[in-house]
Structure 1
Amino acid sequence: MMESKQTHIHIEKIKLLYMHSFIPIILSAVAGLFLVAALWKLADRQHLLIWFGITLLLALVRIVIISRFKQTNPQGRKVLQWESPYAISLLLVFLSWSAGLIWIMPRDNLTAIFILNTFSLGLAGAAISWYSPLRYLQMASVSLALVPMIVVLLTLGYEQTFWVGIAACCMYVSCIITSMLLQKTFNGNLELAYDLEKAKMSAEDMARTDALTGLNNRRAFFDKARLLFDYCKSNQQPVSALMLDVDHFKNINDSFGHASGDLALSCLAELLKNNLRESDVLCRFGGEEFAVLLPNTLVAEAEDIANHLKRTMMNSTIVLAQENLLSLTASFGVSDIGDNLEDLLSHADKAMYMAKNNGRNHVMKYPSD
């Protein structure tokens, strides 16, 4: 069963972030190394090495988190539990860049200042690209990359840095607009993918479900029952089949109309579902005929189940149109004889017709005693 659309989309966004995060981690470490090289002769080297060490440590932490996610391979709502580790580690990375660049910045060297500003802009551009699935992470990362640098540039007291700060403000506004547009497109694509997948699942479900009763149709029954039959045989467990056919169903249609006949079949399907085990495979086999595969069930137990269903049907009343009341009876056949599913069902079907020939509203087994 699929989650709600919004939950499903949020899960897909988290999975996308984890799938595509190794490359930005590596690029961030490489960028840090280049920055250290660029400022080696312009800034305090001890500060540079401490900052670079913190950057590498956080990169390692993120690699561990992402590796654990891929090894665990969570599915469905379990993916949501991995959002916080990702978000916290990412924001710590951008905080280390943001605070670190301000910390290592020599205030009296315009060359170093402009180098750091260039790296801040590059960091913001990377955030827009790599972290677009979750907008709050995208904008938080961009803000950490740009806002502190903008404040410093505007308050350093140099005319050159002031105008660069204004340009950085424009860049920040551009990032906000770009983020909104990307998020709209991104959400639209994920919503379309969700709708298509849901439509596909609905179509597949319709192809395997009886439209009137909501039970398995013959195709779905044979797919499920064959697997269960083979499992029971390979594990030397008993397996039985039960077939039932509603007695005098044509008279119901003739007397009350086909709509009442359909209602009777729907009510019978609900009765059968409520009185069978979860492990049993039930289907509308055709017309007013139903089939059940009973795993781990001896034929004597199948007889007991059939008799219980027969009594429950006789004691149940269906209210038709114009307050007409209807009680159904059925002829039942059970069998545990058959080397394959088809033979087993054929023998149960023969037993069912023996019940019909024996006056209806009976339970017979194959082979008969």
Structure 2
Amino acid sequence: MLGSYLAAAMLCWMGWERFDHEAVITWMSVLTATTLLRTVMFITYRRAAPNQRSPQQWERRYWLTLALSAGIWGLGALAVMPVGDLVGQTLIILFAVGMSVSAVSCYSSFRNMTLVSIALVLLPCTIWLLLQPSALQQGIALAVLVFASFVVSATRSLSSALETAWRLKHEMEHAHRLAIIASCTDGLTGLNNRRAFFDHASAQHALCKQQSGLVAVLMLDIDYFKQINDTFGHAAGDRVLQRIGTVISDCLRDDGIAGRLGGEEFALLLPNTPQAEAVEIAERLRALIAQLNVSSEHGVTASIGLVCATTEESDLDALLVCADKAMYRAKAAGRNRVELVELARTTA
């Protein structure tokens, strides 16, 4: 945008003594207005929220302002074309050709945009020269058209190559994102895997500790899960794990962290959660899991260990150990229950 305006200004400066001054002033005035219009469009785009920068919202505006600017450049060059001055005509054609080359460099990934820009800049002056009686003028016009045909051919190849490179780049980025998600996600339940749970839980616990808040940790184990696998098969066991993963996700708050630590064991970290709320969440989890079943005769239950503490007096590993011990006490007490451990004084 700035380059096209500077090119016109330089052309007018170099040909000031050869061109009609009134035509030069009119051309530069109109070109200044279109340049300011495009500048306002770019500033508006930059200030817009990211969700308001979609191609559907901006591509048409960009096309219109680009076509307007290129058309004014080409018609303005024709307007200042000196009728009897071959040197001045050649100077204008050289600048027009330079503008077409710059269009290739700027818009080469958008072939139609490139071709439209080249046509609007080159054709007015080229057609005018082609209609002149002088063989030299016609030869210059033909040379420009031959050059333009090579540019069009090169643009097609370059546009195709850039499109392929762009597509491959985004495919690789997408594959990279999927790989990152896969490395952090338990493929069966959709929850964090063991490593990701400890990474996220440690970060969340540290953040909660800075705020001197409360924290709750739950350890959940499916009752008689081996019996489910042995009786109904591992496919049925996998379905149970998937459904429990869904239940946990539905019960979890936005700031909560949940993960499958392995087998049928799950862990949850609830930051800034008073004891009463943590107990309510644990009991809701237990009740929802108890509504699941493998068959009409065989239901599913879980034992849950819950520990609540103030973060400034707690350590994440210690909380997990205490919650794990509480979970085994829940199993020893008859399963399908929640056992609570309070490490430090909490506010209900």
User: Which TM-score bucket, shorter chain as reference?
Assistant: 0.7 to 0.9
Instruction: Give the Å deviation of 1:270.
Output: 1.7
Which secondary structure does the structure 1 equivalent of 2:336 belong to? Answer: coil
Instruction: Give the Å deviation of 1:139.
Output: 1.5
Q: Verify: 1:54 aligned to 2:30, yes or no.
A: yes
Which residue of the partner structure matches residue 360 of structure 1? 335
Which residue of the partner structure matches residue 160 of structure 1? 136
Asked if 1 retains the 8 angstrom alpha-carbon contact of 2:282 and 2:338, the reply is: yes
Q: Verify: 1:237 aligned to 2:209, yes or no.
A: no
Deviation per CA, 1:78-132: give whole Å up to 9, x if none. 2534444543333332122111011111223322222222221111111111221
Q: Verify: 1:328 aligned to 2:300, yes or no.
A: yes
Asked if 2 retains the 8 angstrom alpha-carbon contact of 1:299 and 1:365, the reply is: no
Q: Verify: 1:177 aligned to 2:149, yes or no.
A: no
Asked if 2 retains the 8 angstrom alpha-carbon contact of 1:313 and 1:327, the reply is: no
Q: Residue type of the partner of 2:327?
A: M
Which residue of the partner structure matches residue 340 of structure 1? 315
**After the TM superposition, which residues 65-84 of structure 1 pair with which residues of structure 2 at under 5 Å, given as runs?**
65-66=41-42, 69=45, 72=47, 75=50, 78-80=53-55, 81-84=57-60
Q: Measure, in 1, the Cα distance between the counterparts of 2:139 and 2:298.
A: 88
Q: Measure, in 2, the Cα distance between the counterparts of 1:359 and 1:141.
A: 79
CA separation of 1:144 and 1:325: change in aligned 2, threshold 3 A: farther
Which residue of the partner structure matches residue 19 of structure 1? none
Q: Measure, in 1, the Cα distance between the counterparts of 2:5 and 2:235.
A: 71
Asked if 2 retains the 8 angstrom alpha-carbon contact of 1:318 and 1:327, the reply is: yes
Q: Which moved more, 1:298-307 or 1:182-191?
A: 298-307
Asked if 2 retains the 8 angstrom alpha-carbon contact of 1:351 and 1:367, the reply is: no
**After the TM superposition, which residues 52-131 of structure 1 pair with which residues of structure 2 at under 5 Å, given as runs?**
52-63=28-39, 65-66=41-42, 69=45, 72=47, 75=50, 78-80=53-55, 81-131=57-107
Deviation per CA, 1:331-369: give whole Å up to 9, x if none. 11111125232222222112111111212111110149x
- Pick one of 289, 303, 306 that aligns with 2:279: 303
Alignment: residue pair count: 339
CA separation of 1:181 and 1:325: change in aligned 2, threshold 3 A: farther
Asked if 2 retains the 8 angstrom alpha-carbon contact of 1:267 and 1:318, the reply is: no
- Pick one of 150, 173, 179 that aligns with 1:203: 179
CA separation of 1:326 and 1:145: change in aligned 2, threshold 3 A: farther
Which residue of the partner structure matches residue 267 of structure 1? 243
**After the TM superposition, which residues 219-234 of structure 1 pair with which residues of structure 2 at under 5 Å, given as runs?**
219-234=195-210
Which residue of the partner structure matches residue 346 of structure 2? none
CA RMSD of aligned residues (A): 2.4
Instruction: Give the Å deviation of 1:288.
Output: 0.6
Structure 2: gaps (5+ residues): 344-348
Deviation per CA, 1:258-299: give whole Å up to 9, x if none. 222222211221222233333322211211111111233222
Q: Residue type of the partner of 1:333?
A: G
Asked if 1 retains the 8 angstrom alpha-carbon contact of 2:308 and 2:342, the reply is: no
Instruction: Give the Å deviation of 1:248.
Output: 1.3
Q: Which moved more, 1:129-138 or 1:83-92?
A: 83-92
Q: Residue type of the partner of 1:329?
A: T
Q: Verify: 1:350 aligned to 2:325, yes or no.
A: yes
Q: Measure, in 2, the Cα distance between the counterparts of 1:32 and 1:312.
A: 73
Q: Measure, in 1, the Cα distance between the counterparts of 2:342 and 2:213.
A: 19
Which residue of the partner structure matches residue 254 of structure 1? 230
Q: Measure, in 2, the Cα distance between the counterparts of 1:52 and 1:314.
A: 78
CA separation of 1:272 and 1:318: change in aligned 2, threshold 3 A: farther
Asked if 1 retains the 8 angstrom alpha-carbon contact of 2:326 and 2:340, the reply is: yes
Under a length normalisation based on structure 2, what TM-score does the superposition of the two structures give? 0.88
Q: Verify: 1:193 aligned to 2:169, yes or no.
A: yes
Q: Verify: 1:141 aligned to 2:128, yes or no.
A: no
Q: Residue type of the partner of 2:30?
A: I
Asked if 1 retains the 8 angstrom alpha-carbon contact of 2:222 and 2:300, the reply is: yes
CA separation of 1:141 and 1:129: change in aligned 2, threshold 3 A: same
Asked if 2 retains the 8 angstrom alpha-carbon contact of 1:355 and 1:362, the reply is: yes
Identity percentage over the alignment?
Answer: 33
Which secondary structure does the structure 1 equivalent of 2:268 belong to? Answer: strand
Q: Measure, in 1, the Cα distance between the counterparts of 2:216 and 2:23.
A: 78
CA separation of 1:367 and 1:237: change in aligned 2, threshold 3 A: closer
Q: Measure, in 2, the Cα distance between the counterparts of 1:340 and 1:218.
A: 18
Instruction: Give the Å deviation of 1:57.
Output: 4.5
Q: Which moved more, 1:153-162 or 1:58-67?
A: 58-67
Q: Measure, in 1, the Cα distance between the counterparts of 2:308 and 2:170.
A: 44
